Amino acid sequence: MLIFYSELPIEQGFEVLDKPKHDRLIRGRQVSACSGWNLFKTLQGQPIKCWSCGCEADRWIADRGKNNLVGHPVLNLYGIKDDCIVLMNRDHIIPKSLGGTDALENLRPACEVCNGARGNSLTPEELQFRKDNPHLVSDVRLAAGKSKAKKAIKRHNNEVEREKIAEAFHTIGEEL
């Protein structure tokens, strides 16, 4: 559940987030930038669409989770998908769990539905992208991803889920 504070049109949201941190105010309340801000900033002035389903961002909303009552609200980007409001976020082409970095060339916009459904799987094109861009792979992140995957495999009672987790690493030539 989210607590909504204010909604802004696309360009007005960019204007607010372009300001220095302490001057990012909406109705007198300071807001923080969303985690995908650097990516979204590079796409300013053009449609920001989910790479998978094409859902287009059409508003900024200052919000916070119901359990996050400290700090400032976050100005997040949203769009409409299937008549429902959906958060837009950054998707790592090479998933973080498979070593992907936060470099802009490894990021693309995605709605939270498509980003969540993708998980850490790689299409053949994404696998080739990973092979062609070894500078976008962090050994530290890959090791952390392996560690988390091993723990997840131990937790899952479902054999299909365990195999799915291991398959992502097998695809990139890494064994758990």
Query: Which pLDDT does position 111 carry in this prediction?
Result: 97
Q: Is the dihedral of CA 51, 46, 96, 112 positive or negative?
A: negative
Rounded Cα distance, 126 and 93, in Å: 6
Sequence-distant (≥ 6) Cβ neighbours of residue 40 within 8 angstroms: 34, 48, 57, 77, 88, 109
The fraction of the chain above a pLDDT of 90, given in percent, is 70
Boundaries of every domain in the chain:
2-171
Count the neighbouring beta carbons within 10 Å of the beta carbon of residue 141: 19
Average pLDDT, stretch 2-15? 89
pLDDT of residue 110: 97
Asked whether the whole model's pTM tops 0.75, one would answer yes
Place 120 in a pLDDT band, splitting at 50, 70 and 90.
confident
The per-residue pLDDT for range 37-96, each reduced to its tens digit, is 999 999 999 999 999 999 999 999 999 866 666 778 999 999 999 999 999 999 999 999
